[in-house]
Amino acid sequence: MLTNRTFFLSLRWQIVLTYLIIILVGFTFIGISVLDIIGKYMIDSKKNAFRLYANWVAQAVSYDYASGDPDILASIVYDLQALGEEIFNKELEATRILILNKNGVVDYDSYNIVHGPDSLLKQDLSQVFPEVKAVLAGERVEPKELYIRPEGSRDAKLVLYTYAPIQHEKHGIIGMVIISTSLSRIEQMLAQVKTRVSTYLLITSAVIIMASYMISGFITQPIKELTDVIRKMSQGHLDQRVKVRGSKELRQLGEAFNIMSEKLENLDRARNEFVSNASHELKTPLSAIKVLTESLIHMDVDDPSIYREFLEDINSEIDRLNAIINDLLTLVKIDTEAEELKQEPVDLVELVHSTLKGLQILAQKKNIRLETFYDDRLIVSGDAVKLRQVVSNIVDNAIKYTPEGGRVTVEVYKGVENAVVKVSDTGIGIPAKDLPHIFDRFFRVDKARSRTTGGTGLGLSIAQKIVLQHGGNIRVVSEEGKGSTFYVELPIKENKQ
**What's the Cα-to-Cα distance from 253 to each of 222, 234, 242, rounded to whole Å?**
10, 18, 10
DSSP annotation string for 21-60: HHHHHHHHHHHHHHHHHHHHHHHHHHHHHHHHHHHHHHHH
Order of strands, sheet of 473-479, starting from the edge strand that comes earlier in the sequence: 369-374, 407-414, 418-425, 483-491, 473-479
pLDDT of 424 over the 90 cut: yes
- The residues, any chain, with a CB within 8 Å of residue 129's CB and separated by 6 or more, are 161, 178
Q: Are strands 379-382 and 95-101 parallel, antiparallel or unpaired?
A: unpaired
CA dihedral sign, ordered 264, 267, 273, 279 = negative
CB atoms within 10 A of CB 110: 27
Q: Would you place residue 277 in the very low, low, confident or very high pLDDT band (cuts 50, 70, 90)?
A: low
Question: CA–CA separation, 397 vs 445, rounded Å?
Answer: 12
Question: CA–CA separation, 394 vs 387, rounded Å?
Answer: 11
Q: What is the pLDDT of residue 461?
A: 82
Helix (H) or strand (E) holding 100: strand 95-101
Question: CA–CA separation, 436 vs 443, rounded Å?
Answer: 11
Single out the residue of 433, 369, 356 nearest to residue 407, CA to CA: 369
Q: What is the pLDDT of residue 165?
A: 93
Q: What is the mean pLDDT of residues 382-407?
A: 89
List residues bridging with 422 in a β-sheet: 411, 487
Average model confidence (pLDDT) for the chain?
80
Q: What is the mean pLDDT of residues 117-142?
A: 85
Question: CA–CA separation, 240 vs 236, rounded Å?
Answer: 10
pLDDT of 268 over the 80 cut: no
Question: CA–CA separation, 140 vs 163, rounded Å?
Answer: 9
pLDDT of 176 over the 50 cut: yes
Using a pLDDT cut of 70, give the percent of the chain over it: 84
Q: What is the pLDDT of residue 316?
A: 77
Q: Is 9 helix (H, G, I), strand (E, B) or coil?
A: coil
Order of strands, sheet of 106-109, starting from the edge strand that comes earlier in the sequence: 106-109, 95-101, 172-182, 157-168, 144-148
Instruction: Mean pLDDT check: name the lowest of 178-187, 264-273, 285-294, 442-451.
Output: 442-451
pLDDT of 6 over the 70 cut: no
CB atoms within 10 A of CB 362: 14
Which has the higher per-residue pLDDT, 34 or 8? 34
pLDDT digits (tens, 9 = 90+) for 344-359: 899 999 999 998 988 8
Overall size of the chain counted in residues? 497
Question: CA–CA separation, 297 vs 300, rounded Å?
Answer: 8
Q: Would you place residue 375 in the very low, low, confident or very high pLDDT band (cuts 50, 70, 90)?
A: confident
Q: What is the pLDDT of residue 485?
A: 93
Highest mean pLDDT pick, 14-28, 194-208, 246-260: 194-208
Question: CA–CA separation, 482 vs 487, rounded Å?
Answer: 17
pLDDT of 121 over the 70 cut: yes
pLDDT of 241 over the 80 cut: no
Q: Would you place residue 448 in the very low, low, confident or very high pLDDT band (cuts 50, 70, 90)?
A: very low
Please report the domains of the chain, with CATH numbers, ordered by start residue: 2-190 (3.30.450.20), 249-335 (1.10.287.130), 344-491 (3.30.565.10)
Q: What is the mean pLDDT of residues 467-480?
A: 89
pTM beyond 0.85: the answer is no
Q: What is the pLDDT of residue 455?
A: 59
Question: CA–CA separation, 402 vs 368, rounded Å?
Answer: 8
Which has the higher per-residue pLDDT, 12 or 137? 137
pLDDT of 248 over the 80 cut: no
Q: Is 298 helix (H, G, I), strand (E, B) or coil?
A: helix
pLDDT of 116 over the 60 cut: no
Q: Is 385 helix (H, G, I), strand (E, B) or coil?
A: helix
Q: Would you place residue 421 in the very low, low, confident or very high pLDDT band (cuts 50, 70, 90)?
A: very high
Question: CA–CA separation, 87 vs 176, rounded Å?
Answer: 18
pLDDT of 124 over the 90 cut: no
Instruction: Mean pLDDT check: name the lowest of 169-173, 317-321, 409-413, 484-488.
Output: 317-321
In degrees, rounded to 5, the angle at the alpha carbon of residue 28 between the alpha carbons of residues 25 and 30 is 110
Question: CA–CA separation, 166 vs 123, rounded Å?
Answer: 18
CB 125 within 8 A of CB 157: no
Q: Are strands 144-148 and 106-109 parallel, antiparallel or unpaired?
A: unpaired
Q: What is the pLDDT of residue 2?
A: 43
pLDDT of 261 over the 60 cut: yes
Q: Would you place residue 476 in the very low, low, confident or very high pLDDT band (cuts 50, 70, 90)?
A: very high
pLDDT digits (tens, 9 = 90+) for 47-80: 999 999 999 888 888 887 877 777 676 677 777 7
List residues bridging with 374 in a β-sheet: 412
